[in-house]
Amino acid sequence: MARLQTGLNVMQFVLPYSGLQWSDLPFMLEGAWRTIMLTIMAGSLGTLLGVIVGWLRETFVSFRIGLIPFIDVIRSVPLIIQFILVNSFQSILGLQFDPFWIGVVTLSIYMAVLTSELVRAGLQSVRPELSRAGRSLGMSYWQGFLHIRAPLAIRTALPGWIGALIALTKDTALVSVIGYIELLRAAQVLINRSNEALLILAGVGLFYFVICYPVSLYARRLERRLAI
């Protein structure tokens, strides 16, 4: 009996460093899928909200002034602290949201703030003479906005938005601080068990490259197409 107990103790000591196995692949793929879902959800919601907020800030002085403190705070406070604060705030209120949705909300707000600044700068880059020319041709405000201001603003804002989206993809790794297991957190779990840090982190870096590089290539091609 004593020998069996000793054997169990040895197994408990050895198992944490049992090396990588094929059964670890689904765990990593699940983390990768969660990273992709976070990026898609937060990128879509944040962009939609950011376009609306950017248009409101550029159009109405009250929104331009009223939203400045909120935007400055979101841009200045590190994102990892925002995750912790949002998670703590919902706990204080007695809410029990899934860490995935806490991550989506926090990343969406952050993406919305960045997008709103890009949209506002893009709209302001359009010369007022072009809008007045559209009105003189009988266009309504929305017709001039959709056919003149928006296309020109997109050319200005697109490079910055692509950069923000790529940064958002990498920032999803910070959601692990509130207990959500995405790709990087899954990699950390496997590193602690297998002690194969170099191999695992190389795979994680390759995944982020495979996700971000095609987006960057497509953005360059789209920029050239819009510049024609």
Residue 195: which region, alpha, beta or left (left: phi > 0; alpha: psi -120 to 50)?
A: left
Residue 175: closest CA among 73, 45, 39: 39
**pLDDT of 12 above 90:** no
| Domains in the chain: ranges and CATH | 24-227 (1.10.3720.10)
Find where tokens 């050895």 sit: 14
Q: pTM of the full predicted structure?
A: 0.84
More confident residue, 52 or 226: 52
- Poorest-confidence range of 90-99, 168-177, 219-228? 219-228
- 67 CB-contact burial (10 Å; exposed 0-12 / middle 13-18 / buried 19+): middle
Confidence of residue 222 (pLDDT cuts 50, 70, 90): confident
Q: Distances from the Cα of 65 to the Cαs of 40, 121, 125, 126, in angstroms?
A: 30, 15, 19, 21
List b or e across 137-173, with b for residues whose CB sees 16 or more CB atoms inside 10 angstroms.
eebeeeebbeebbbebbeebbbebbbebbbebbebbb
Q: Distances from the Cα of 27 to the Cαs of 2, 9, 97, 197, 212, in angstroms?
A: 36, 26, 23, 16, 22
Confidence of residue 18 (pLDDT cuts 50, 70, 90): low
Backbone angles phi, psi at 11, to 5 degrees: -60, -40
- The mean pLDDT value for 205-211 works out to 90
Q: How does pLDDT run across 97-125, given as a tens digit for each residue?
A: 889 999 999 999 999 999 999 999 999 98
Q: How far apart are CA 127 and CA 108, in angstroms?
A: 30
Per-residue 3-state assignment (H helix, E strand, C coil) for 29-45: HHHHHHHHHHHHHHHHH
Q: What is the pLDDT of residue 14?
A: 41
Confidence of residue 130 (pLDDT cuts 50, 70, 90): confident
DSSP symbol at 97: -
Confidence of residue 3 (pLDDT cuts 50, 70, 90): very low
**pLDDT of 93 above 50:** yes
**pLDDT of 8 above 60:** no
Q: How far apart are CA 184 and CA 88, in angstroms?
A: 22
Confidence of residue 128 (pLDDT cuts 50, 70, 90): confident
Confidence of residue 193 (pLDDT cuts 50, 70, 90): confident
CA angle 60, 63, 69 (to 5 degrees): 150
- The mean pLDDT value for 20-32 works out to 83
Confidence of residue 212 (pLDDT cuts 50, 70, 90): confident
169 contacts 107 by C-beta, under 8 angstroms:
no
